[in-house]
């Protein structure tokens, strides 16, 4: 019974992240804030959104997002403000342009290069094994003699 209770408590942990004093009175603004918070990375927890994190910095970022929304910023303006302040690392899904484009394309490019190298290696290895016809008659006789022993 204890493991079940522990598992349920761990699953409910993200629900404790957003504190009641952070929630906005306007349900539409709160929904936008929650959606934006799911897109931003907690800089302490690394692969957790600020919406799910209990870290103090995540709380500060959630408050910052809500502050910008109440000031009248659009979702894009809020994200741009946070990225300008903390860098692109704060995005859970980084953009696919600029320097990130090289990172997005590096994986598939390395796969293509590895496949090409493998194909060349296998082709050369296959042609290196076909040496039987290149032996002279005396060499072939000596080879047969050694193999028969």
DSSP class of residue 91?
A: B
Task: Examine residue 110 and state whether it is found in any structural domain, yes or no.
Answer: yes
Per-residue pLDDT at 131 exceeds 50:
yes
Same domain, 69 and 108: no
DSSP class of residue 50?
A: T
> Model confidence at 79, in pLDDT bands (50, 70, 90)?
very high
Name the domain count of the chain: 2
Same domain, 52 and 123: no
Residue 3 sits at φ, ψ, to 5 deg, of -60, -35
With a threshold of 0.75, does the pTM exceed it? no
Task: Examine residue 125 and state whether it is found in any structural domain, yes or no.
Answer: yes
> Model confidence at 120, in pLDDT bands (50, 70, 90)?
very high
Contact by Cβ (8 Å): 94, 88:
yes
Same domain, 64 and 115: no
Residue with tokens 């342009």: 97
110 Cα distance to chain centroid: 17
Same domain, 19 and 85: yes
pLDDT in tens, 26-77: 888 888 999 999 999 988 887 898 988 888 998 899 999 999 999 999 999 9
118 Cα distance to chain centroid: 27
Note down the domain range covering 49: 2-90
From residue 38, give the alpha-carbon distance in Å to each of 62, 76, 85: 10, 14, 18
Percent over 90 (pLDDT), the chain: 35
Same domain, 75 and 13: yes
Contact by Cβ (8 Å): 75, 36:
yes
Contacting residues for 59 by C-beta, under 8 A, at least 6 apart: 19, 22
Contact by Cβ (8 Å): 69, 82:
no
Percent over 70 (pLDDT), the chain: 81
């Amino acid at each position: 019974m204890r493991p079940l209770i522990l598992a349920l408590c761990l699953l409910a942990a993200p629900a404790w992240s957003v504190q009641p004093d952070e929630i906005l009175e306007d349900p539409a603004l709160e929904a936008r804030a929650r959606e934006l918070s799911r897109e931003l990375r907690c800089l302490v927890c690394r692969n957790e959104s600020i919406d799910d994190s209990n870290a103090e910095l995540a709380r500060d970022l959630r408050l910052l997002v809500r502050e910008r929304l109440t000031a009248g910023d659009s979702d894009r303006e809020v994200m741009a403000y946070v990225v300008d302040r903390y860098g692109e690392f704060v995005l859970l899904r980084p953009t696919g342009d600029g320097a990130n484009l090289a990172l997005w394309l590096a994986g598939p490019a390395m796969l293509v290069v590895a496949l090409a190298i493998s194909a060349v290696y296998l082709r050369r290895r296959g042609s290196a094994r076909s040496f039987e016809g290149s032996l002279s008659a005396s060499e072939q006789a000596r080879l047969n003699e050694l193999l028969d022993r």
